[in-house]
Amino acid sequence: MSTATRLPVEQAGPAPALKVRSLRKTYGGAVALEHLDLTVRVGEVHALLGQNGCGKSTLVKSLTGVIGPDSGTVEVYDRQVHLPVEAAHEHGIAVIHQDIGLVDEMTVLENLGANARYGTRLLLPVNTRRERRIYTELMDRVGFHFDLDAKVSTLSPSERALVAVVRAMRLMPDDAAGQLFILDEPTAALPKPEADRLLTLMRTVADLGSAVIFISHRLAEVMEVCDRATVMRAGRDVLETRIEDTDRAEIVAAMLGRRMDEFYPDPPNVTPGEVRVAVDALTGPVVRDATFHVAAGEVVGFTGLAGMGQEELANLLGGATETVSGTVLVDGADLTGATPSRIIDAGMVLVPGNRLRDGIWVAGSAEENITLPVVPQLRKRGSVSNSLIRAKAEELMAGVGVHPHDPERPLGGFSGGNQQKIVFGKWMQLDPQVLLLDEPTQGVDPGAAKDLLGRAMDAASSGSAVLVFSGEHEMLAAICHRVLVLHEGRIVAELSGADLTEESLLAASELDHAAVTASATEGAA
């Protein structure tokens, strides 16, 4: 591998789809963007990388008109764009966020039409036949098709992302020479097969003559699908490189400003103690007869393809999903069907996978969120003390490295990674005996991910049982003593030791276990 360097911005190659020069944005005395340069070329998938809080979101908001930069220039397909940007879609710019913003109970066609430009003449009837033809043609362009009359709730995650892409394409000017799609963490919640489908879509869109900015913390995907990358740190572009000229270690070093020898902490080197969690024949809406145990000091993973049960298993144990049958014992106490509050009192806490839905109060402040489990204890003379809440919040935020260190800031004003740190800090302060982590590093940069997982490993070293539920096979193989694989709600494999690798987890997850069982039964007959 040759050493990647900052490339000259005018280096020969395909024409620029986007040219950003010396973009600067400040909030009060804080600098969010500092003379940022970015060039994205026609026909490429360009990775935009950096730790949470490095300025990526500020850049995207500047390109889409959510905020106005203080200075700098933006050109889209050689057209100067007046700042602040107005009607980004008229310049051919579209953003597809991780939270795609579709309405589950509406049909695909209804969701697609919700933002369509025919809405400018509201008193006229919608030409449904014309709209169907337009969307069919757009789907033909990208090579993916879905039922326009299907409810969005029936679509897979990658199909939902595809709907968002087609919806964005519908908003573009009909005569646009090219388009710029910004995909912000689109694969963060997707298992590998679903993510691969979306990555294929990105490649197709680029090959059609548009350009794609891919924002992701999944560096394996970046290395697989992207042509070039720009790394941001502290509001600046610190590295621009062709993917073929770099590797993950160099990218992470640029993101962190230092080398990081390992992406994940090692599992604790301790002898497992007494059984803390004993689950027998646990059954829920999806999970079937799950039986396993986890001892003190153990880190045990649970994985499978999307919808196979690992997500539900975390919620069954944490009390967020109702148990149909089976038993759950924690340190000998029967918590089967217990309420979340009773489960927490018994020493088992769940860090949920969907932090926006289940883990945080977005409109609340950081201090209100992070101190929530202990507010009753923060009293002076019989009343809840604001000063004690502030002091506790400052202590907890410093402990998990939240940036900016502002307890009064609304949680919606923090990056996704810092929101995750706040969720982590909220529950880790209870010193849980059993820690349930559902997709703990989703949407979190490598530095923050290693730090958060390190705290979980510290908990295991201190005698906690740590259960990790995730589709991130690389992460599970790195931090777990053993991993259980689910298929159609049942535990079908257990991997440990030398057999526990990213490749073996993927193979076990994708194996058609029903077919294997049927074949074995026929052979025995």
Q: Where along the chain do its domains lie?
A: 16-104+178-256, 263-347+432-525, 362-429
pTM across the whole model: 0.64
- Inter-residue contact 237 to 36 (CB < 8 Å): yes
Closest listed residue to residue 210, CA positions, set 20, 44, 96, 46: 44
Closest listed residue to residue 434, CA positions, set 399, 469, 402: 469
- Inter-residue contact 89 to 168 (CB < 8 Å): yes
**Could you tell me the two tokens for 286?**
């999806």
Maximum CA extent, the chain = 76
Q: Which CATH class is domain 263-347+432-525?
A: alpha beta
Residuewise pLDDT in 10s, the chain (525 residues) = 333 333 344 444 678 999 999 999 998 778 899 999 999 999 999 999 988 778 998 999 999 999 999 999 999 999 999 999 998 888 889 888 765 667 888 888 888 775 554 444 444 445 678 888 888 887 887 677 778 888 888 887 667 777 877 777 776 654 444 789 999 888 776 667 778 878 888 888 888 888 999 998 888 899 999 999 999 998 999 999 999 999 988 898 888 787 655 678 889 998 889 999 999 999 999 999 999 999 999 999 999 877 789 989 999 999 999 999 999 999 999 999 999 999 999 999 999 877 667 677 878 899 999 998 888 888 777 787 888 999 999 999 988 888 888 899 988 888 777 888 898 889 998 999 999 999 888 777 777 888 889 999 999 999 999 999 998 888 899 999 999 999 989 999 999 999 999 889 988 887 655 444 444 445 445
**For residue 183, what is the enclosing H or E element?**
strand 180-184
Question: Tell me, which fold does domain 16-104+178-256 have in CATH?
Answer: Rossmann fold (3.40.50)
- Inter-residue contact 14 to 43 (CB < 8 Å): yes
Closest listed residue to residue 299, CA positions, set 496, 467, 433, 432: 467
pLDDT of residue 100: 62
Taken in order 256, 259, 264, 266, the sign of the CA dihedral is negative
| Terminal-residue alpha carbon distance, the chain | 55
pLDDT of residue 185: 82
- Inter-residue contact 228 to 46 (CB < 8 Å): yes
Say which residue the tokens 């979980």 belong to: 456
Distance CA(289)–CA(273), nearest Å, equals 25
Q: What angle do CA 20, 22, 28 make, to 5 degrees?
A: 115
Say which residue the tokens 């033909």 belong to: 140
Whether 16-104+178-256 shares its CATH topology with 263-347+432-525 is answered: yes
